[in-house]
Amino acid sequence: MKIVSAKDYNDMSRKAANIISAQVIMKPGCVLGLATGGTPVGTYKQLIDWYNKGDIDFSEVTTINLDEYRGLKRDHEQSYWYFMHDNFFNYVNVPEENIHVPDGANPDSDEACREYEEIIRKAGGIDLQLLGIGTDGHIGFNEPGEAFELRTHCVDLTESTIKSNTRFFGSEGEVPKQAYTMGIKSIMQARKVLMVVNGENKADIVKAALFGPVTPEVPASILQMHPDFTIVGDEAAFSKIKDLI
Ligand code: F6R
């Protein structure tokens, strides 16, 4: 486990983008596992900036996103497909056919999840998986208590997730109740894992995930067992582990 301290959000974003950039330079045809959420947005911005300066080329890269709401079409403004295009893909040269997000519009969850695992397998596995972390330790949509050995599967969103997502949709009734997510096993099979984390509200969970017991109650704790796991965090997120690193 490598713990990389950053001053603030911008510094965290730049350091994470540097690691991704190194991956793409060393292996131009690499497979990047990507995440949505607020934390990686700055990392994507930095990569876009370097792309515009001609410092990085994504023309041979394949991307495989972590998760998607079940029931949302790609063009829905709250879909993760939409989010990724809005924050990254529309501004760089990843070929459209190399972009993969679980198919939220497929109501057959077994088929959607099986096909996604097949995409990962055919791509040759994920070289670098980018992750955020939820305040309860979730990674992807793998909530506390989720079995470590699952691959891509369909999850029921918790009541609190549905409630907190209501702000992005018109009403609670419009919030999807399920999602397709890579499982912990799919994530653990990535050759490298890079987590980004910022803000004081993540400080407790960072300590539990990195230095607490490895338990399904803290899904991210399994990353302690990953052979090539790097976490980049700002001062606030690392405030409770200062004496341990
Ligand atoms: C994103 C994802 C989630 C987020 C997590 C943290 O694809 O699967 O696990 O990484 O909820 O979200 P933010 O970065 O918004 O705090």
Summarised one tens digit per residue, pLDDT across range 97-152 is 999 999 999 999 999 999 999 999 999 999 999 999 999 999 999 999 988 999 99
pLDDT band at 35 (very low <50, low <70, confident <90, very high): very high
Report which residue type is found at 79: S
Note whether residue 61 is domain-resident. yes
Specify the number of domains making up the chain.
Answer: 1
From 66, 78, 200, 234, mutation site for ligand 1 pocket: most ligand atoms within 8 A of C-beta: 66
Q: Given this model, what pLDDT does residue 163 score?
A: 87
Please give the number of the atom of ligand 1 that sits closest to the Cα of 199.
16
Average pLDDT, the chain: 96
pLDDT at 69 over 90: yes
pLDDT the model gives residue 161: 82
Q: Map tokens 């918790």 to a residue.
A: 158
Q: Which of 144-153, 157-166, 196-205 has the highest mean pLDDT?
A: 196-205
The percentage of residues in the chain with a pLDDT greater than 90, rounded to a whole number, is 93
CA of 51 to the centre of ligand 1 (A): 24
Q: Is residue 208 part of a domain?
A: yes
Residue 231 is part of a domain; what is its CATH number? Answer: 3.40.50.1360
Q: Does residue 188 lie in a domain region?
A: no
Enclosing domain of residue 228: 2-179+193-235
Flag whether pLDDT at 34 surpasses 90: yes
Is the pLDDT reported for residue 165 higher than 90?
Answer: no
Q: Which atom of ligand 1 is nearest to the CA of 35?
A: 7
**Binding-site residues, ligand 1, Cβ < 6 A:** 35-39, 66-67, 132-134, 138-141
Position 145 in a domain: yes
The answer to whether the predicted template modeling score (pTM) of the entire model surpasses 0.95 is yes
Judge whether 242 lies within some domain: no
Q: Which of 12, 36, 66, 202 most suits a substitution to test ligand 1, by most atoms within 8 Å of the C-beta?
A: 36
Ligand 1 center to 244 CA (angstroms): 25
What is the distance between the alpha carbons of residues 115 and 119, in angstroms, rounded to a whole number?
6
Res 22: pLDDT: 98
Tokens of 175: 């919030």
Question: How far, in Å, from the CA of 90 to the mean position of ligand 1?
Answer: 20
Which range (165-169, 179-183, 186-190, 206-210) has the least confidence? 165-169
- pLDDT value of position 146: 87
Residue 2 pLDDT greater than 90, yes or no: yes
How far is the C-alpha of 209 from the C-alpha of 199, rounded, in Å? 15
Nearest Cα residue to atom 3 of ligand 1: 140
Residue 47 and residue 159: Cα distance in Å, rounded? 35
Check whether 75 has a pLDDT greater than 90.
yes
Is it the case that residue 160 has pLDDT exceeding 90? no
Structural domain contains residue 187:
no
Q: What is the pLDDT of residue 170?
A: 87
Asked whether residue 186 is domain-assigned, the answer is no
Give the residue numbers annotated as catalytic, written as ranges: 67, 136, 138, 143
Residue 209 Cα, ligand 1 centroid: separation in angstroms? 15
Say how far apart CA 234 and CA 216 lie, in whole Å: 25
Exposed/middle/buried for 203, CB within 10 Å: 0-12, 13-18, 19+? Answer: buried
| Residue 184, in any domain of the structure | no
